[in-house]
Amino acid sequence: MEVKGVAFLARQQLMVQSHGEAAWKAFLTEFAQKEPFFAKPVMPVSRMPAEAFLKLNDALLARFYDNNPSAWWQFGVKSAEYALGQGQLKAMFSQGDFRRFLLFTPGIWKGYFTEGDLSVIPGEGHTDLRITHVPRPHPYFELSVMGFAHGGLVYLGAQDLQHQVLKGFTRNDNEVLYRFNVG
């Protein structure tokens, strides 16, 4: 499994905004000594080994977030806010486009990761998102992707949004299944 460079660049942008460019550069310089992939520039079309990308995210969690995995959820939320507010998805969705946004999320998965599947299962009064076939299950994939979905729904105007975790990598399941209470 590989992760596309756009995922790294999104993380870099968020870290610079949250912690400053100097802190990000210091972190990346130090981290590149342990993980040589990051010693050279990462471009949007770069392909990173998933293991190297996951090590980067684990190190970010340790360095900046006291090993609190809820930061990965916030990475997803902030990414959705950026994508819908000023990024590549800005013109694609209007307030209230909940189901349409969720039906689009498998394309977002494919835009970032070369393996695994994200599927959308519409139901009565809810929509399920399911991640399967990930060769390296890791809480990052679950929390950042489901955080993106949650953040996008809130950005598009969802009120009192609730979700249920039915399965997850955070629960040592081999797949992820979240139920969002949007029709």
81 assigned to some structural domain: no
pLDDT surpassing 80 at residue 142: yes
Domain assignment of residue 17, given as a range: 2-67
84 assigned to some structural domain: no
73-127 confidence digits (pLDDT tens): 999 999 898 888 887 888 899 999 998 999 999 998 998 999 999 999 998 889 9
pTM: 0.90
Residue 107 and residue 32 in one domain: no
Nearest to 108 by CA among 141, 69, 72: 141
Burial class (CB in 10 A: 0-12, 13-18, 19+), 142: buried
73 assigned to some structural domain: no
pLDDT surpassing 60 at residue 183: no
- How many domains does one find in the chain? 2
45 assigned to some structural domain: yes
Residue 52 and residue 105 in one domain: no
2-47 confidence digits (pLDDT tens): 999 988 988 898 899 999 999 999 999 999 999 999 999 999 889 9
CATH at residue 102: 3.90.1520.10
Query: Does residue 18 come out as left (phi exceeding 0), alpha (psi in the -120 to 50 range) or beta?
Result: alpha
Alpha-carbon span 22 to 65, nearest angstrom: 17
The DSSP secondary-structure symbol of 171 reads: G
Residue 160 and residue 127 in one domain: yes
Identify each DSSP E strand in 5-160 by its residue range. 47-49, 117-122, 127-132
